Amino acid sequence: MKIGITCYPSYGGSGVVGTELGMELARRGHSVHFICYDAPFRLDRAQPNVYYHEVNIPSYPLFKHPPYLLALTAKMLETARYQSLDLLHVHYAIPHATSACLARDIIGGRLKVVTTLHGTDITLVASDPSFRDVVAHAINESDGVTAVSEDLRQETLRSFPVCTDLVTIPNFVDPAVYVRRPDPCLRGRFATEDEKILIHVSNFRPVKRVAMVVRILAGVNRRLPSRLLMVGDGPDVGMAREVTQELGVDDRVHFLGRQEQVVELLSQADLFLLPSERESFGLAALEAMACGVPVVASRTGGLPEVVADGETGYLLDPQDLAAMVDAAIAVLVEPATHERMAAAARRVAVSRFPTDKIVPLYEAYYRQVMESRTD
């Protein structure tokens, strides 16, 4: 197949999924054309069957805001025409799905649009009433729509006037890449032998509740000497630093900024923290699990579909700090318990969400969509 993929190229789960999916489809022999405003950060542009088409956003004095939606549509149209694409697969509804449907309608013919909903496109941005109908229209006009968890699928059906089928295809992880690589030297840079390492990876948006991550570290550290690795960057990083100072744990928390490869860091960690307000899937938790790191997270959104409560970690009320601290200590304090949960985390990640099980679901779905009628 000849597939166009659009995703946000910057750090973020939906961009990672779109990029990893495209590269795996290319390995399987499909021609994959990335259509983005920047090269996605994990994209290997030297890989066979992978092409990159940059969206150029014009700026004229008349425009207060550059017309990104139209620039993207024009690039999709051009790429679809000249590369004879079969399908545009867009990750994140806003505004990618709208652009793709417009490009398809202009081009006519057999081009199909598949939209994958990732979460905040539905739960946060689209809950702005002024966006709701636009997003609903793009969902309904797509030839196929997938959601990354069953919870997100249900949430979309509840919150939008959707009159099309939605299919759940979960996110995935490559078990050969995401595998624990212990490195005593690297671990020793952060912690002594008797200290535990907690880790959090995110884009530090308010929905991630990074202050809560720091509070959990402070609570755990009172009973078990611990360190916290904060990986990523975003609007709440400054606030998280302030909380470390307020709680007197600034020497215990390492802010490492954005990292392209997180496997090395995850591999040194004993526990992953994700006390988000909402999480449609929790790809960061899945990546941690594949590296044998148990997870303490919120019982919210799609996380219960990823983290097996009591087996690969614990799921708790995101507001309940004491319960999160107790759960973290319960995972960490007994080496046998930790070993059991770490092994279960790896087992669940590689048995339920491996790339070679999930990507064929997308291929089959593309075929189904391409065989559907064009009215």
Nearest distance from C-beta of residue 193 to ligand GMT, angstroms: 33
Scan residues 6-25 and list those touching ligand GMT (CB under 6 A): 12-15, 17
Residue 199: CB atoms within 10 A of its CB come to: 27
Q: Does 170 bind ligand GMT (CB under 6 A)?
A: no
10 vs 368, which CB is nearer to ligand GMT? 10
Q: Does 148 bind ligand GMT (CB under 6 A)?
A: yes
Of residues 235, 233, 228, 229, the one with CA closest to residue 206: 235
Size of the site for ligand GMT (CB under 6 A): 21
Nearest distance from C-beta of residue 291 to ligand GMT, angstroms: 16
Scan residues 107-136 and list those touching ligand GMT (CB under 6 A): 118-120
Nearest distance from C-beta of residue 281 to ligand GMT, angstroms: 4
For 237, the token pair is 């990083």
Identity (one letter) of the amino acid at 243?
V
The only residue of 282, 292, 313, 318 in contact with ligand GMT, by rule CB under 6 A: 282
187 vs 209, which CB is nearer to ligand GMT? 209
Of residues 174, 105, 113, 171, the one with CA closest to residue 145: 113
Q: Does 281 bind ligand GMT (CB under 6 A)?
A: yes
Q: Which stretch binds ligand GMT (CB under 6 A): 158-166, 223-231, 280-288, 319-327?
A: 280-288
Scan residues 289-348 and list those touching ligand GMT (CB under 6 A): none
Q: Which stretch binds ligand GMT (CB under 6 A): 225-233, 253-261, 273-281, 290-298?
A: 273-281
Nearest distance from C-beta of residue 339 to ligand GMT, angstroms: 27
Q: Does 287 bind ligand GMT (CB under 6 A)?
A: no
Nearest distance from C-beta of residue 238 to ligand GMT, angstroms: 18
88 vs 122, which CB is nearer to ligand GMT? 122
The only residue of 31, 171, 221, 312 in contact with ligand GMT, by rule CB under 6 A: 171
Q: Does 212 bind ligand GMT (CB under 6 A)?
A: no
Nearest distance from C-beta of residue 21 to ligand GMT, angstroms: 11
Quote the CA–CA distance of 228 and 213 in Å, as a whole number: 9
Quote the CA–CA distance of 216 and 228 in Å, as a whole number: 10
220 vs 349, which CB is nearer to ligand GMT? 349
Q: Does 278 bind ligand GMT (CB under 6 A)?
A: yes
Nearest distance from C-beta of residue 148 to ligand GMT, angstroms: 4
Of residues 85, 72, 58, the one with CA closest to residue 9: 72
247 vs 256, which CB is nearer to ligand GMT? 256
Binding flags for ligand GMT, 72-111, as an x/- string (CB under 6 A): --------------------x-------------------
7 vs 269, which CB is nearer to ligand GMT? 7
Quote the CA–CA distance of 73 and 362 in Å, as a whole number: 23
Q: Exposed/middle/buried for 320, CB within 10 Å: 0-12, 13-18, 19+?
A: middle
The only residue of 39, 207, 237, 330 in contact with ligand GMT, by rule CB under 6 A: 207
81 vs 205, which CB is nearer to ligand GMT? 205
Residue numbers at the binding site for ligand GMT (CB under 6 A): 12-15, 17, 92, 118-120, 148, 171, 203, 205, 207, 276, 278-283
